[in-house]
Structure 1
Amino acid sequence: MYRPRVIPCLLLRGRGLVKTRKFKDAVYVGDPVNAVRIFSEKEADELTLLDIDASREGREPNFELIEEIAGECLMPIGYGGGITNIGQVRRLIRSGVEKVIINSAAALGSMTVITEAAAAFGSQAVVGAVDVRHGLFKGYRIAAKSGTVDVPGNPEDHVRSLVAAGAGEILVNNIDADGTMAGFDLNLITRIVGSVDVPVVACGGAGRLEHLSQAIREGGASAVSAGSMFVFHGKRRAVLINYNPCELVNI
């Protein structure tokens, strides 16, 4: 039976995994290779790996670590962080990454890497990501470099530009909801879904199965991504990977 994709989102800092709240207060949650091995054993649909420091620090992806992580993946893996040129994309694909996730480079004005990557590997291998936070008058502001740089424009126009450049999927994340486990921003998701004709993956705020269902049934998302929901357990947020495909059947 068909069900929408549910994608664990892992945040890479150095050689460790962390979890943030509103893109701040990073808490160490484990070793990436071990975590990916567990998600593989639990038969996750797909995996997203984001290096949250690479773009902000102006450095390349850690190719050796990514290759090691991808080697443990029995599911498709998408990687984002520090991607600025087609040479990096080629190396990531050779390392075992199925999708490249491009955010800051495009947000700061260069769509070239998206266009070149789509031409070389197909649009299905290119995800255009956008991070937003609430602005004045109930609007949204785009942010780049892990939320440290505000970017002019509105999210709807930006995702249309990403798709026009060649992105075959959009990943949208609300910084204000990140790590809160209080639910997705359904208004944002609906607006992004209505702006493009490619799949939209909702990220930021999932804490319960109902939140996943709401993003899909009410927001119109094609897939959902979550971090805290799959790595924390209980009120004390004990670190415990708890992805269970059987619980996701009816979302």
Structure 2
Amino acid sequence: MLAKRIIPCLDVDNGRVKKGVKFVDLKDVGDPVAIAKAYQEQGADELVFLDITATNQNRETMTNVIERVSAQIFMPLTVGGGIRSVADINNMLLAGADKVSLNSAAVANPKLIQQGAEKFGRQCIVVAIDTRWNQKTNQYDVMVNGGRKNTGLDALEWARRVQQLGAGELLITSMDADGTKIGFDLRLYQQMDQQVSIPVIASGGCGQVSDFSALFEQTNVDAALAASVFHYGELTIEQVKHQLTLQGVAVR
């Protein structure tokens, strides 16, 4: 079994790290460079930076933040938010990102996934899928524009399609669980296991160490992403990895 990854997520708004619940009520958490350095010292396997307002404000993403972070951080960085073109992908990689995350832009222009994979390699292309359970249609809907717009797309079908287009990895967020600390949406990831063969990062809902354990024991996801529990010091990455190791889960 491949070692599982533990990935903190930094949601960035106007150069500051923010965190909310279900994508709203954002609170300031701190400076992205300082927080990134702290996570590197804790032993994070990767970092994900998401510019959570770039798409809605129709502006370019945070190259200056990534340049500052990459100058001091020596682990893989994935960056998303406001990336709409091959040129944007190139700029992010030049700024120091190892991978880029496409979400709203991928839905609006699926060819961007293919173009990015062909030019930079599919290992650089992460497609982020924000999902919300739709009781009426009995499916997970794909949400875009920072979770504000429901596309009506079935998240499972969309995941299959982006894999075919060249995505190298998926970042799947449960908006229903995001920031609630009630645990990962295991049903979502179990269903996703049946659809794709590329690595999946699970995001949304982590509140305690046992949530990581349940995720890795009951699904085939490759990585777990969390924000609130790490940002507010409720858990450290060392604690999580130590407990997972004791329970027989291979971690890096």
Same fold (TM over 0.5): yes
Letter in 1 for 2:29: V
What is the distance in 2 between the residues matched to 1:226 and 1:133?
18
Aligned to 2:177: 177
Alpha-carbon distance, 1:104 to partner: 0.5
Aligned to 1:34: 34
Aligned to 2:128: 129
- TM alignment of 1:35-114, pairs within 5 A: 35-108=35-108, 110-114=109-113
Aligned to 2:237: 243
What is the distance in 2 between the residues matched to 1:23 and 1:106?
20
Alpha-carbon distance, 1:209 to partner: 1.5
What is the distance in 2 between the residues matched to 1:94 and 1:246?
35
Alpha-carbon distance, 1:2 to partner: 5.8
What is the distance in 2 between the residues matched to 1:193 and 1:70?
32
Q: Is the 8 A contact 1:76 1:98 kept in 2?
A: yes
Q: Is the 8 A contact 2:140 2:156 kept in 1?
A: no
What is the distance in 1 between the residues matched to 2:40 and 2:216?
24
Displaced runs of 4 or more, over 3 A: 245-248
Aligned to 1:168: 168
- Which blocks of at least 5 consecutive residues in structure 2 are unaligned? none
Alpha-carbon distance, 1:107 to partner: 2.1
Alpha-carbon distance, 1:247 to partner: 4.2
Aligned to 1:194: 194
What is the distance in 1 between the residues matched to 2:214 and 2:236?
20
The CA deviation string for residues 183-203 of structure 1, in whole angstroms up to 9 with x for no partner, is: 000111111121111011100
Q: Is the 8 A contact 2:56 2:145 kept in 1?
A: yes
What is the distance in 2 between the residues matched to 1:212 and 1:94?
33
3-state secondary structure, aligned to 1:11? strand
Alpha-carbon distance, 1:246 to partner: 3.5
- Which blocks of at least 5 consecutive residues in structure 1 are unaligned? 235-240
When the two structures are superposed, what TM-score results if normalisation uses the length of structure 2? Answer: 0.92
Q: Is the 8 A contact 1:10 1:50 kept in 2?
A: yes
Q: Percent identity?
A: 33
Q: Is the 8 A contact 2:6 2:237 kept in 1?
A: no
Which moves more between the two structures, 136-145 or 79-88?
A: 136-145
3-state secondary structure, aligned to 1:55? coil
Alpha-carbon distance, 1:14 to partner: 0.5
Which moves more between the two structures, 46-55 or 137-146?
A: 137-146
Q: Is the 8 A contact 1:55 1:145 kept in 2?
A: yes
Q: Is the 8 A contact 1:43 1:75 kept in 2?
A: no
Letter in 2 for 1:133: R
What is the distance in 2 between the residues matched to 1:246 and 1:21?
27
What is the distance in 1 between the residues matched to 2:139 and 2:29?
33
Alpha-carbon distance, 1:72 to partner: 2.1
Aligned to 2:21: 21
Alpha-carbon distance, 1:248 to partner: 4.3
What is the distance in 1 between the residues matched to 2:53 and 2:219?
30
